[in-house]
Structure 1
């Protein structure tokens, strides 16, 4: 195992901060909203997380700030929505066949700029030791963005072919014994960190690469799930094995916290960076999955546990987002240097009072993201999980706007979480109200909207492809 000093930044050891909690932020990659037992799955087995959910607060209407990896993580770590940092997608913004794109998309910013005052940097200002074990993805080296101790994190977004078993394909990690499982290894590194720094106030970020593709579970667990009957679009043994390993390793972290007697002063946040891939695991009744701004692409599981501060066995139905983590943490730790601006809402008051909070959520995606599986994505059209557009949620109402054709969709989420009944013509006044809010927000954020026509667009070609896909559907 790698020793603790190998990837340690050259900074003085932090001193404990009186009354400030240790913070563990677990961010699972591509874990769907309903991929856990306590969230309603009858197929996946997550006994450790099911028990953990009863020890804190479950947020049933939690959202990622973006529908895929890099922008969601950039938002969470910066506390800023996508127009503020320009990270809209992974890699190029011109995804998909150019002959099916009507607009020239806004240029994507690949990484979060080092000038951004990140969540780890804010915590260092409050005296915290910061560590990350797993997928960083918003820069080449997290040391330049506030992380003192890093194992496995760089600009890589996935472990690569055969990457879940040693020898590994990721950076800042030494290979373990042949066949060692990456999720196990990252957890072991995190446990070593906890043991070595139990007397230091710390921020431990645990962004597992799992359950991102490639779908690779331990052979024994795959065999276990082969004979288990699937349910409601959740039936893939290899994926179930990955979920089970993730749950097992979170159980190891929780047991370590108890063994080190850190539980009373450790605040644990568990979430996912975006919705699950629908072709791998469906999130019914939510529509679509990762990469889409329908609910299945942005709704995520979220649980927080902090004994004495967050009541046990509590359900919070307010709409919250991972943009809220930064302002919540900042309010609690009281750093010497605060972030100059944050787009989220502190949740501190909701720890004691979960009364309905009226707020608006905004999502901006002025780029293209091609289909993952044309027959299973369940998006607006089968060629793209998302075409350029913006989305807003106000109360229980949700508005989609598409920049290519100016089309809008209006849904009432309270009775239509699956976004099947477009009410744009039934409630034109409500649609106008939300649209005016959305335009005002975009104007205030100087959010770029693509307007230049794509000269390579071929309407006839697009119709032919759509016709072929429609004919191939079961």
Structure 2
């Protein structure tokens, strides 16, 4: 369905979906329960960058990172222990959030613009150069419901980062009324001058909320924290260096300082909602776009990290506060994925999503406590080489099990083509069951391959230009004196 037809179907005359079956009186009853009458819910969506699952205090993994305001969202609402991003790197993850679709369906499966690795064993597919304009974003859908929409911070969904007002592919062309875009700092930036723009992103968000306090709004707050280059105020870093166990692999003092800065900003947003009397009719969400960079901060108890389909690359922190609807202190162990935000926000806003137009499902049953989600598999497709990751791969989680397929081994007919983990009992992915459970491997592999066909995924092919001496060069012409930083050249799944 194209953008025009989708928006026509999802116009303001549409009513809520499943809420009518969960609460007597449907969505209007939900609104009444919050004390907001007939006013639509505001939505504040806060997105961190490369923040690991273990870098929030509420998960109880480490008390090193100070996240009182992120924890406040979790404790005053619900947090999900098994929340996933649809991709282990930023651009496709963000595309899935905005469209509700798998990156494989969008043909946007790597960060933009990505690297080709022209001499690697496999040839990577040519993905789209930007999030296609014909795709309907959640911002566009909410505008149809009368919302004013704002984007503040990182975008990374166009072919370059030279953002300009009105340029196709930038936020203003994808449904956002008020736009502030920023990019990560250069390595020699001054850490005392808001290098990662956390203060400015917060300031712009507060201004947006203040100016639109009398109308429904959607604020997309997109931080650069805790992406490289790592830098922050020296005194704040020293505070973390004095903490116990600061040298443990899970703990990184610079990241701690960066996260604390972002968390302060989140606290200011929560305080602003309180001061304006908006907290009781505003849904606040916190999510990370993908896992952390394992060589700078261990993702334990999860394995791997960014650019990998191990849990460390795709399982992320996710919490949501919805006053009067979500029971405070709730915890869900149901697997959910970033595709689910689109249909969830649509239902909160009272918009209808045409059947089959998105891959996600509404999380309303989990948020209201009125039920659970339909049984489904979650899938990942990463047909790329990445200088911070392992080899190209895909994965499927269904029920208790997760299967990973290694594309080089499959296409070259080599050994160790798949891993199988009982993920509900082995979140660290240490015990590979593939050799012991061939029937389960067969079942999940068939399901995964069917999904690849259903979403029309772009597939890798054997590369006729393979050169073992140049296989880790990101591009065809790479200076001899320039580091190509491919950190894991050995196949990783022989562990366990």
Q: TM-score range by the shorter chain?
A: 0.7 to 0.9
Distance 2:149 2:471 in 1: 51
Matched, 1:393 2:397: yes
Distance 2:315 2:268 in 1: 26
1:280 deviates by: 1.9
Note if contact 1:229-1:235 (Cα within 8 Å) is conserved in structure 2: no
Distance 2:123 2:471 in 1: 18
> Match of 2:253?
237
For residues 354-407 of structure 1, the C-alpha deviation after alignment (integer angstroms, 9 at most, x for no partner) is 65753210111122112x3xxxxxxxxxxxx13223210001201111221211
Structure 2, gaps ≥5 residues long:
1-11, 13-35, 159-168, 411-416, 473-484, 491-496
Q: How does 1:429-440 map to 2 (within 5 A)?
A: 429-440=439-450
For residues 92-147 of structure 1, the C-alpha deviation after alignment (integer angstroms, 9 at most, x for no partner) is 55455x54x21111112231011111110011111110001100111352000000
Distance 1:273 1:252 in 2: 22
Matched, 1:58 2:79: yes
Note if contact 1:135-1:152 (Cα within 8 Å) is conserved in structure 2: yes
Distance 1:364 1:469 in 2: 20
> Match of 2:338?
322
Distance 2:181 2:487 in 1: 44
> Match of 1:80?
101
> Match of 2:303?
287
Structure 1, gaps ≥5 residues long:
1-13, 167-177, 373-384
Note if contact 1:93-1:368 (Cα within 8 Å) is conserved in structure 2: no
Distance 1:303 1:179 in 2: 26
Matched, 1:143 2:172: yes
Matched, 1:365 2:369: no
Matched, 1:218 2:233: yes
Aligned to 2:82, the other structure's residue is in SS state strand
1:433 deviates by: 0.8
Aligned to 1:386, the other structure's residue is in SS state coil
For residues 141-177 of structure 1, the C-alpha deviation after alignment (integer angstroms, 9 at most, x for no partner) is 2000000001125xx5x333345758xxxxxxxxxxx
Distance 1:165 1:196 in 2: 30
In structure 2, the CA distance between the partners of 1:70 and 1:460, relative to structure 1 (3 Å rule), is: closer
> Match of 1:447?
457
In structure 2, the CA distance between the partners of 1:452 and 1:221, relative to structure 1 (3 Å rule), is: same
For residues 59-107 of structure 1, the C-alpha deviation after alignment (integer angstroms, 9 at most, x for no partner) is 01000010000010011111111122111112355455x54x2111111
For residues 253-274 of structure 1, the C-alpha deviation after alignment (integer angstroms, 9 at most, x for no partner) is 1111100110110001101000
Note if contact 1:268-1:304 (Cα within 8 Å) is conserved in structure 2: yes
Aligned to 1:410, the other structure's residue is in SS state strand
Pairs aligned (count): 425
Note if contact 1:93-1:108 (Cα within 8 Å) is conserved in structure 2: no
Matched, 1:251 2:270: no
Q: Would you identify which runs of 4 or more consecutive aligned residues in structure 1 move more than 4 Å?
A: 92-96, 162-166, 178-181, 336-340, 354-357, 459-462, 465-470
1:423 deviates by: 0.7
Note if contact 1:87-1:112 (Cα within 8 Å) is conserved in structure 2: yes
Moved more, 303-312 or 229-238: 229-238
The TM-score with structure 1 as length reference comes to 0.84
> Match of 1:120?
139
The TM-score with structure 2 as length reference comes to 0.80
In structure 2, the CA distance between the partners of 1:432 and 1:179, relative to structure 1 (3 Å rule), is: closer
In structure 2, the CA distance between the partners of 1:127 and 1:179, relative to structure 1 (3 Å rule), is: closer
In structure 2, the CA distance between the partners of 1:459 and 1:125, relative to structure 1 (3 Å rule), is: same
Aligned to 1:432, the other structure's residue is in SS state helix
In structure 2, the CA distance between the partners of 1:202 and 1:297, relative to structure 1 (3 Å rule), is: same
> Match of 2:435?
425
